[in-house]
């Protein structure tokens, strides 16, 4: 039976549902790179990001979402990174940002 097109659809909620998200994968990532948890969200990484100046890639947002258990699409997002490493020079918390990109790609390749 052909579905009738009513012009309406049901959106998935935008809420970050921490009750539903599984943080174990995020824990694995943070176990390998605990300093990622020290991010103060200053955006120095994103300000200097070559990819982020031309595309909607936002390294700060992606790794923050991963730490909240939002893994969907993180691998694809991190593929936008050109691994130039300027962000790593700027990070005031001394986070190996380029390493974070590689780590998330390695851990979340199947999401």
Distance separating alpha carbons of residues 21 and 102, to the nearest angstrom: 22
The three state secondary structure string of the chain is: CCCCCCCCCCCCCCCCCCCCCCCHHHHHHHHHCHHHHHCCCCCHHHHHCHHHHHCCCCHHHHHHHHHCCCCCCHHHHHCCCCCCCHHHHHCCCCCCHHHHHHHHHHHCCCC
- Does 52 interact with another protein (rule: CB under 8 A)? yes
Stretch that binds another protein, among 4-12, 14-22, 49-57, 71-79 (CB under 8 A): 49-57
- What gap in Å lies between CA 98 and CA 88, rounded to an integer? 7
Closer residue to another protein (CB): 29 or 44: 44
Q: Name the one range near another protein by CB under 8 A: 2-10, 13-21, 34-42, 73-81.
A: 34-42
Q: Does position 34 bind another protein by CB under 8 A?
A: no
Applying CB under 8 A, does 47 fall inside the site for another protein?
yes
Q: Is 93 in the site for another protein (CB under 8 A)?
A: yes
Does position 91 bind another protein by CB under 8 A?
Answer: yes
Using CB under 8 A as the binding rule, whether residue 46 contacts another protein is answered as yes
Binding site for another protein (CB under 8 A): 40-49, 52-53, 58, 60-61, 90-94
């Amino acid at each position: 039976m052909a579905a009738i097109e009513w012009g309406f659809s049901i959106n998935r909620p935008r809420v970050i549902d921490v009750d539903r998200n599984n943080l174990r994968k995020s824990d694995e990532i943070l176990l390998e790179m605990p300093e990622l948890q020290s991010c103060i969200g200053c955006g120095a990484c994103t300000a200097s990001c070559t990819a982020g100046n031309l595309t909607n890639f936002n390294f700060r947002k992606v790794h923050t979402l991963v730490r909240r258990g939002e893994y969907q699409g993180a691998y694809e997002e991190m593929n936008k990174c050109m691994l130039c490493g300027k962000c790593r020079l700027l990070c005031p918390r001394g986070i190996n940002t380029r390493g974070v990109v590689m780590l998330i790609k390695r851990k979340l390749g199947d999401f």
